[in-house]
């Protein structure tokens, strides 16, 4: 890690704790991935900023950085740009288009197949009709149909940080890219195996990750 200059030491440590996961996946091999996020002092002042060029997600309270992680945005520019607000939250959200048949086989509604149990989109935070932040595989390149996916460790904390009405700014770049972007650990889960179908179909998929979600300071 490069030595940080021009920052007071206490502030520098706070930044590192907020944005650096302990480790990530490398070389396509699964590895432990953890995220640290700070509890806001005034939840009404929380804002979300997304940079589609870096795929970074920044959650701030005024000038205070609460969490910064890599997500996965839509390919071919399918994630809408602009100013939005979170207007719906559902921890146990499932897809109506992709999922499984009653016997556990894959199903896609647009192919005329009956989706008995939708693919999990846990920690759903909707910012535009049919577009939301949710848990899912994160690639190093844009890959979604327009939603913004996060690792479960990040998605669960994001769900706690935002509320209905939280402002969301999505742009090709954000000022935070220059300030914090180089601290964000990159994540690429494209080669990780799919979880067992039985687990994906189970309500237990929607449990919180272990540990404290938000750190108080």
State pLDDT tens for residues 165-183. Answer: 999 999 999 999 999 999 9
State pLDDT tens for residues 105-127. Answer: 999 999 999 999 999 999 999 99
- DSSP for residue 29: B
pTM confidence score: 0.87
- As a whole number of Å, the end-to-end CA separation of the chain is 25
Place of tokens 């490398």: 26
- Which of 16-25, 104-113, 185-194, 208-217 shows the lowest mean pLDDT across its residues? 16-25
pLDDT for position 147: 98
Burial of residue 137, with CB atoms counted within 10 A of its CB: 0-12 exposed, 13-18 middle, 19 or more buried? middle
How many Å apart are CA 9 and CA 144, to the nearest integer?
Answer: 38
96 sits in the region (left: phi over 0; alpha: psi -120 to 50; else beta) called alpha
Complete domains list, the chain, with CATH = 15-206 (2.40.440.10)
How many Å apart are CA 211 and CA 116, to the nearest integer?
Answer: 32
Percentage of the chain lying above the pLDDT 70 cut: 86
Q: Which helix (H) or strand (E) holds 13?
A: helix 9-19
Among candidate residues 173, 208, 166, 167, the one with its CA nearest the CA of residue 73: 173
User: pLDDT tier at 217 (50, 70, 90 boundaries)?
Assistant: confident
């Amino acid at each position: 890690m490069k030595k940080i200059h021009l920052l007071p030491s206490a502030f520098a440590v706070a930044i590192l704790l907020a944005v650096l996961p302990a480790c990530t996946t490398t070389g396509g091999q699964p590895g432990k991935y953890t995220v640290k996020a700070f509890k806001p002092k005034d939840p009404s002042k929380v804002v979300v900023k997304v940079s589609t060029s870096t795929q970074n997600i920044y959650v701030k309270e005024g000038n205070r950085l609460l969490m910064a992680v890599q997500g996965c945005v839509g390919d071919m520019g399918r994630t809408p740009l602009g100013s939005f607000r979170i207007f719906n939250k559902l921890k146990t959200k499932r897809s109506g288009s992709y999922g499984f048949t009653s016997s556990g086989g894959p199903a896609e509604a647009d192919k005329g197949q009956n989706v008995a149990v939708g693919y999990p989109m846990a920690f759903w935070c909707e910012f535009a009709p049919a577009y939301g932040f949710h848990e899912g595989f994160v690639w190093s390149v844009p890959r979604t149909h327009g939603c913004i996916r996060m690792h479960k460790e990040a998605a669960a904390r994001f769900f706690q940080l935002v509320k209905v009405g939280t402002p969301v700014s999505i742009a090709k770049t954000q000022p935070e890219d220059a300030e914090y972007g180089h601290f964000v650990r990159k994540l690429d889960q494209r080669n990780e195996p799919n979880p067992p179908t039985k687990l994906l179909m189970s309500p237990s998929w929607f449990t919180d990750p272990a540990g404290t979600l938000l750190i108080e300071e």
